[in-house]
Amino acid sequence: MKELTERFFVAQFGSELPIWAKSAVAMANILVILAIAWVFMSFSSRLLRALNRRVVSQQPDQEERKRLDTLIRVVRYIASVVIGAITIMLVLSEMGISIAPILATAGVAGLAVGFGAQSLVKDYFTGFVMLLENQIRLGDAVEVGGKTGIVEEVTLRYVRLRDLEGAVHYVPNGVIATVTNRSREFAFALVDIAVSYGERLDRAESVIRRVGTEMRGSEAFASRILDDLEIMGVEQWADAAVMVRCRFKVAGSEQGPIRREFLRRLKNAFDQEGIEIPFPSRAVSAKNSS
């Protein structure tokens, strides 16, 4: 571009351009390159947003929408890196800096740095595989790298989580050996209920089942609870209570809210029916030594 501009001015004015004119031409070319890069960045961003809206609107499956949204974000990031790299090379060329030696040096340096940046390469490779296999999406409740939370961002480098306390965790993809995803299609809200040894289990289970049926039939939980309450039976004989295990089949990420609301309603129902909820107690006897 620089040569073309100089030839144009030479053809117009019929003389060699002075140094200051050449510098002005180079600066003008750089501004044109930056403007074109900005146009491409803006165009690609708008195109990806429009594509995302169109694809998501035509996809009724909520799980597939999350996957597409995550992929669009990664593609936008890659497009920004590619456009930025090309822009830098063109600007250096306009400044009279040869790109070939830089690329050669970068290749040699890349081999040296590669040995010390194996973890970084591993991060990118693992991130690519996770996205390709659709293991993690935005909004999922997951456990990765020993951290649990809601996925706020997925890149080729890391996964950003926010836990229940609001703390943000950046987990490098390279340290992720196992992904525990609690948001796929459905989950189970597991509840262990303590019943006193003095109560009849049949009566307690009848109240538990009734509360579960009422809760599923309520407007607030009809779409979040996918099946009737399943009473799995006696889980163990604890020190002060018989532990009855039951579970709800719920929509992904709804285990916590469903479990807490069920326990709240069950406490009120047990109080109304006079069913004792046991608590640890200790009997103390005094021995007369005389």
pLDDT tens figures, 66-100? 666 767 777 777 788 788 878 887 777 777 766 66
The verdict on 13 and 93 lying in the same domain is yes
Instruction: Look up residue 165 and give its DSSP letter.
Output: T
**What is the share, in percent, of the chain residues with pLDDT greater than 70?**
74
> Is residue 128 in a domain?
no
> Which comes out higher in pLDDT, residue 86 or 282?
86
**pLDDT digit string, tens, across residues 156-210:** 788 999 998 889 999 998 888 888 888 877 889 999 999 988 889 999 999 999 9
Q: Which of 241, 240, 234, 67 is nearest to 139 (CA)?
A: 67
pLDDT (0 to 100) of residue 230 = 92
The mean per-residue pLDDT over the stretch 208-230 comes to 91
CATH code for the domain in which residue 249 is found: 3.30.70.100
Tokens for 271, please give them: 């109080």
Higher pLDDT, 189 or 29: 189
| Structural domain count of the chain | 3
CA atoms within 13 A on the CB side of 156: 14
165 backbone dihedrals φ, ψ, rounded to 5° = -85, -5
> Residues 173, 264: one domain?
no
Tell me: do 161 and 175 sit in the same domain.
Answer: yes
Domain residues for 150? 135-181
Residues 66 and 138: beta-carbon distance below 8 Å: yes
**40 and 93 together in one domain:** yes
